[in-house]
Amino acid sequence: MANRNLISRFEEIGIADRPTVGGKGASLGELARAGIRVPSGCVVTTAAFERFLAAVDPAGSIRREIEQLGADDHAACSRVCAEVRTRLESAALPEDLRASISAHYAELYTPAGFDEPGEPVAIRSSATSEDSADASFAGLQDTYLWVRGADSVIEHVRKCWASLYAVESVMYRRRLKLPEQGLAMGVVIQRMIDSRCSGVIFTRSPNTGDRSVVAVEASWGLGSAVVSGEVTPDKYVVGKITGEIMSRTVSCKLRQHRPNAAGAGVIDEEVPVEQQNVPCLSDDELHSLVAIAKRVERHYGCPQDIEWAIARNFPPGENVFLLQSRPETVWAAKDAAPVAAPKGKPFDHVFSLLSGGAGKK
Amino acid sequence: MGVESKSRSFTLPSQIADVPGTEGWQSMYPYYTRFQPEDDQRFWFYNAMHFPEPMPAFDALTAEIPYEALGAFTTRIFAFPTTMGIEHRIVNGRIYITANPVTDPAELQRRLAIFQERAGYYYENWNPIFGEWKVRMENLIHELEAIRVPKLPEFDEAEVVTKTKGLGQNHYIRENFHRTIELFSKMWHHHFEMLMLGYGAYMVFFDFCKKAFPETADQTVARMVAGIDVLMFRPDDELKRLAKLAIEFGVDDLFTADCDAKRVLDEMHGRGDAGNRWLAELDKSREPWFNMSTGDGFYHHHLSWNDDLSVPFAALPRYVEQLRRGESLERPTERLKEERGRIIAEYRELLRSEDERQAFDQMLGLSHLVFPFVENHKFYCEHWFTSLFFKKVKEFGALLVTYGVLADASDVFHLQYVEIESALADVSLAWAGGGKPLGAAHWRPIVEARKCMVERLKEWNPPPALGPIPPQINDPALQMLWGITSETLETWSAKAEAGHENEIVGFAASPGVVEGIARVLRNVNEIGQIREGEILVCPVTAPSWGPVFGKIKAAVSDIGGTMSHAAIVAREYGLPAVVGTGKATQRIKTGQRLRVDGNRGIVWILD
């Protein structure tokens, strides 16, 4: 049954809810349900967006106007998009929606009893489209870090929604002649982890596609520095089955992102010199990351591409959080013919190998 | 001994000079082991895995006969399609080998047809054949034990007449010495009868894993293949049993650190019933389990535990101490089995299709089928039989001492086996003719000169390879037995060219990273020098060093592959090991601080 809620907590949703909460939200819900530690959060659903849009534009003129744009008319497109975004970003939310977002935001911190004012969250857009062209929807991957206070949260939710009408996105849709009706997105509101270090995990080798190894990349501070490619992270390769650390490359990590403790947003700064060449992860931390990655992969049944963070203010054993997990796509596309097929007799394999090519047709 | 990068060649055989003071070393070995001028055109590598030391004259037979047998089975009997046999040469006492590949497609096709039929027969009937093999091997061993070295009394036995035997004792010198050598040859033929087929099965599974899991370490694949109950652990288990009994009988106080085997045995006799019971148990263990060479069975001076009780007695105090502390000495076989099962199941699960899983099952199943032979033959052949073989040859040496031809029974190992025959003929003639053998004046100076030469030759650092680097090496046998691939050669030649002074690269044989002090042993007889917590650096790690593995922190060797016994033992003892480094014993000095990374196969010299 379709999710009609305006907002759903992670633990209420799973991967099947993608159409109403978007891929990122659905995946975080799925992880939380599977018992993987993710920062608590909720997703503002597509139903909420539809409700907001209906309130701003009861006549449905926005969608009609965009559908009439020519695929190559960049000038008209820029003008319309700018108008639409201004309209969306300045419109007030319907009161019930506003109240609901505020309540869910407050709830995120209640159980842990955080007493800081304006507890920080990350606001991330969560696209509903299934095709791998997601990345081409510039703007659909918007992420706002260290957002504090209910008003600011609401403002950033609107920004995410408005990003549906970024010029590049709209022109892309026009070129593909995609319908505007039903176009929507989820927005994730998630407690923000102040991470000591963070990075990504591939549950197969990025170099050879080997599924028996786990590759971990790690750098200081928030994961945004790693994902944006601003820093060369430490790299580890660990045997997925044996747990052996097969290689360990400690890089010189020059930049780090960290929350602006005094206010909002993220500071991009130089890593203190004495920390630049220090490995980010202890062996124990590396092993816990690998154990979690194995669980996630097993849960999904295919190799994963995972973002993780180790929280600064949590005790060991409770400080590893996943921020995202999605199926690995690069090697999945290359997985070719089977390495071997069964033969009549087990020792027929010896004959093929030692035939020097004579046995092959 | 560098590598010229232009011509892509190691040192040529013809460029190797004699070691000063060893001129004429060639007289120690048969003419057919000498490098010929045309051998400069071929690629050779030093077989340090089996022959880490210069060969005494007699011991060269432990290359000649095995290569006769190996080649017979690969080239002539099973007709392995891609590989004929191995040729060997000796220079400065070291054995270099090369394989003869088959590349002509028509020839490959012809050999493949024969191979399929004949190898198929063995694979199909593997276990019954292995069952018969064990019986045959035990019979050979008993035959060898029964060989009598004639005493040559003044007057021959009366029963030569009363039982009309019609043969003088001196005839049996010739017959029984021949018989000893013949049995050695038979043993080696049986050794290779199944071995190369066993390696074929391993290669298939390793090849599959390399393709399906390109980054998986060989050692991990080896863990899936290796069985848990193997004979090579048995001698060590016997020591544990004896340690336990010593405590039970109340004679454990005799096993103090650095106790002397002979003194312990003497005192044991004075401990009445308890002492005698323990000694009886010791005798039970000794046959056959102490017929364990301290090496790999290729040198006469690699004594067996039975020949030299100091090796087993070096381990006993430690076991006694551990038992007193309440530690269990049992190998955790159940846990090892479970862990192996888990690894196999998880790799299997990672495969992408049911087809692949079925192929994996077939290949792994075949490896498990052959594993008991591949692992256990070593005890029968290289240890049990060979220990008795050298002992028997030494008895002939003792006969030569009795007649004054040699000064010491062990001197016999400085003669080629054909020279021994000749010396024995001298004795036989003297006994028969009533005269004196002439051998003392002839052989003693030769033996003395050769002893000096072998000592001097130990100082020579043999290059890991000779001759032009082949464009590619894809001989599966070289890869599986010696760990030699094109990459190995690159590593060796890169080493000779640049040489990162502090880094030595080999194969990761057993995981873990440790730091410690190096103890470089070039010869197994130096085993007593190892101190608790040191890192063993040696030409080749032999499995019979098992008890020492309890003492050391890590093992590093010049030569060895992933399925070498050392690797198997190291993995089970949980010690990091790096094998096949080419030159660790030359580059590392005793006392240096090392870091051994058994995950990546790298050794760093930290000093």
pLDDT tens for B279-328 read 999 999 999 999 988 777 899 988 888 988 988 888 898 899 999 999 88
> Which positions in chain A touch B116 (Cβ < 8 Å)?
351
Q: How far is CA B574 from CA B112, B596, B598, in A?
A: 41, 13, 10
> Which positions in chain A touch B359 (Cβ < 8 Å)?
338-343, 349
B6 pLDDT more than 50: no
**Rounded distance between C-alpha atoms, residue B490 and residue B470, angstroms:** 11
- Quick one: pLDDT at residue B546? 66
Give the distance from residue B237's alpha carbon to the nearest chain A alpha carbon, in angstroms: 27
Give the distance from residue A137's alpha carbon to the nearest chain B alpha carbon, in angstroms: 32
A218 pLDDT more than 80: yes
Contact assignment for B119 to A353 by CB distance below 8 Å:
no
Contact assignment for A354 to B201 by CB distance below 8 Å:
no
| Residue B191 three-state SS | helix
| Residue A212 three-state SS | coil
- Quick one: pLDDT at residue A130? 54
- Quick one: pLDDT at residue B565? 64
What mean pLDDT is predicted for residues B106-117? 94
Task: Among A212, A341, A345, select the one facing B355 at the smallest CB separation.
Answer: A341
Percent of chain B with pLDDT over 70: 91
Contact assignment for A341 to B120 by CB distance below 8 Å:
no
Q: Give the DSSP H or E segment for A7.
A: strand A7-9
Contact assignment for B215 to A205 by CB distance below 8 Å:
yes
- Quick one: pLDDT at residue A262? 77
What mean pLDDT is predicted for residues B246-256? 94
Contact assignment for A208 to B214 by CB distance below 8 Å:
yes
Question: Is residue B94 a contact partner of residue B60, using CB atoms and an 8 Å limit?
Answer: no
Instruction: List all residues 6 or more positions away from B588 whose beta carbon is below 8 Å from its beta carbon.
Output: B504, B518, B520, B537, B556, B594, B603, B605
Contact assignment for B215 to A346 by CB distance below 8 Å:
no
Question: Is residue A231 a contact partner of residue A255, using CB atoms and an 8 Å limit?
Answer: yes
> How many separate helices (H) and strands (E) can be counted in chain B?
20, 12
- Quick one: pLDDT at residue A190? 94
Global pTM value: 0.82
> Which positions in chain A touch B121 (Cβ < 8 Å)?
none
A113 pLDDT more than 60: no
CATH 3.50.30.10 fits B501-605, yes or no: yes
Task: Give the residues across from A237 on adjacent strands.
Answer: A215, A247
Which of A156-160, B140-144, B532-536 has the least mean pLDDT?
A: B532-536
**Rounded distance between C-alpha atoms, residue A120 and residue B357, angstroms:** 48
How far is CA A285 from its chain centroid? 22
Residue of A211, A350, A352 for testing the chain B interface, max B β-carbons within 10 Å:
A350
Percent of chain A with pLDDT over 70: 91
Tens digits of residue pLDDT in B90-104: 999 999 999 888 888
Residue of A nearest to B211 (CA): A339
Give the distance from residue A265's alpha carbon to the nearest chain B alpha carbon, in angstroms: 41
Question: What residues 218-237 of chain A have any CB closer than 8 A to a CB of chain B?
Answer: 237
pLDDT band at A136 (very low <50, low <70, confident <90, very high): very low
Contact assignment for B216 to A207 by CB distance below 8 Å:
no
Which of A176-185, B269-278, B383-392 has the least mean pLDDT?
A: A176-185
Give the distance from residue A36's alpha carbon to the nearest chain B alpha carbon, in angstroms: 21
Residue of B nearest to A210 (CA): B213
B471 pLDDT more than 90: no
- Quick one: pLDDT at residue A173? 84
Which of A154-158, A225-229, B123-127 has the least mean pLDDT?
A: A225-229
Residue of B109, B209, B216 for testing the chain A interface, max A β-carbons within 10 Å:
B216
CB of A215 within 8 Å of a chain B CB? The answer is: no
- Quick one: pLDDT at residue A334? 78
Contact assignment for A356 to B108 by CB distance below 8 Å:
yes
Task: Among B83, B220, B365, select the one facing A346 at the smallest CB separation.
Answer: B365
> Which positions in chain A touch B123 (Cβ < 8 Å)?
345-347, 350
Give the distance from residue B174's alpha carbon to the nearest chain A alpha carbon, in angstroms: 43
Domains and CATH numbers, chain A: 7-191 (3.30.1490.20), 195-334 (3.30.470.20)
What mean pLDDT is predicted for residues A227-252? 88
B541 pLDDT more than 90: no
Question: What residues 315-374 of chain B have any CB closer than 8 A to a CB of chain A?
Answer: 342-343, 346-347, 350-353, 355-356, 358-363, 365-366, 369
A3 pLDDT more than 60: no
> Which positions in chain A touch B509 (Cβ < 8 Å)?
none
Per mean pLDDT, which of B17-26, B57-66, B81-90, B590-599 is the most reliable?
A: B57-66
Tens digits of residue pLDDT in B409-460: 999 999 999 999 999 999 999 999 999 999 999 999 999 999 999 999 988 9
B14 pLDDT more than 60: yes
B464 pLDDT more than 50: yes
| Residue A214 three-state SS | strand
Q: Rounded to the nearest 5 degrees, what angle is found at the Cα of B22, between the Cα atoms of B21 and B26?
A: 160
What mean pLDDT is predicted for residues A285-303? 94
| Peptide bond just before A111 cis, omega within 30 deg | no
A45 pLDDT more than 70: yes
What mean pLDDT is predicted for residues A293-306? 93
**Rounded distance between C-alpha atoms, residue B394 and residue B381, angstroms:** 18
Residue of A245, A345, A347 for testing the chain B interface, max B β-carbons within 10 Å:
A347
**Rounded distance between C-alpha atoms, residue A230 and residue A270, angstroms:** 11
**Rounded distance between C-alpha atoms, residue A191 and residue B390, angstroms:** 76
Contact assignment for B365 to A237 by CB distance below 8 Å:
no
Helix, strand, coil abundance in chain B, percent, nearest 5: 55, 10, 30
Give the distance from residue B591's alpha carbon to the nearest chain A alpha carbon, in angstroms: 28
Contact assignment for B203 to A353 by CB distance below 8 Å:
yes
Tens digits of residue pLDDT in A72-97: 888 999 999 999 999 999 999 999 99
Helix, strand, coil abundance in chain A, percent, nearest 5: 40, 25, 40
**Rounded distance between C-alpha atoms, residue B410 and residue B300, angstroms:** 9
B478 pLDDT more than 90: no
Contact assignment for A212 to B347 by CB distance below 8 Å:
yes
pLDDT band at A111 (very low <50, low <70, confident <90, very high): low
CB of B202 within 8 Å of a chain A CB? The answer is: no
- Quick one: pLDDT at residue A338? 81
Contact assignment for B352 to A239 by CB distance below 8 Å:
no
Give the distance from residue A341's alpha carbon to the nearest chain B alpha carbon, in angstroms: 5
Q: Print burial letters for A211-245: b (CB count within 10 Å at least 16), e (below 16).
A: bbbbbbbbbbbbbbbbbeeebebbbbbbbbbbebb
Tens digits of residue pLDDT in B45-63: 998 878 888 999 999 999 9
pLDDT band at A17 (very low <50, low <70, confident <90, very high): very high
Residue of B nearest to A352 (CA): B204
Residue B340, both tokens:
């192996």
- Quick one: pLDDT at residue B136? 97
Tens digits of residue pLDDT in B209-224: 989 999 988 888 988 9
Percent of chain B with pLDDT over 90: 63
Question: What residues 518-557 of chain B have any CB closer than 8 A to a CB of chain A?
Answer: none
Residue of B nearest to A242 (CA): B343
Q: Print burial letters for A178-210: b (CB count within 10 Å at least 16), e (below 16).
A: eebeebbbbbbbbbbbbbbbbbbbbbbbbeebb
Contact assignment for A241 to B220 by CB distance below 8 Å:
yes
Task: Among B201, B215, B361, select the one facing A350 at the smallest CB separation.
Answer: B201
Task: Among B212, B511, B599, select the one facing A339 at the smallest CB separation.
Answer: B212
How far is CA B538 from its chain centroid? 13
Give the distance from residue B192's alpha carbon to the nearest chain A alpha carbon, in angstroms: 17
A139 pLDDT more than 90: no
Residue B497, both tokens:
């060219």
* Residue type present at position B111: R
Question: Is residue A199 a contact partner of residue A219, using CB atoms and an 8 Å limit?
Answer: yes
pLDDT band at A361 (very low <50, low <70, confident <90, very high): very low
B181 pLDDT more than 60: yes
Question: Is residue A218 a contact partner of residue A283, using CB atoms and an 8 Å limit?
Answer: no
What mean pLDDT is predicted for residues A27-37? 93
Q: Across chain B, what does the average pLDDT equal?
A: 89
> Which positions in chain A touch B342 (Cβ < 8 Å)?
241
Would you call B129 exposed, middle or buried from its count of C-beta atoms within 10 A (0-12, 13-18, 19+)?
A: middle
Give the distance from residue B99's alpha carbon to the nearest chain A alpha carbon, in angstroms: 15
Contact assignment for B204 to A211 by CB distance below 8 Å:
no
Interstrand relation of B593-597 and B602-605 (parallel, antiparallel or unpaired): antiparallel
Hey, where are the domains in chain B? 1-124+461-499, 125-224+366-437, 231-324, 501-605
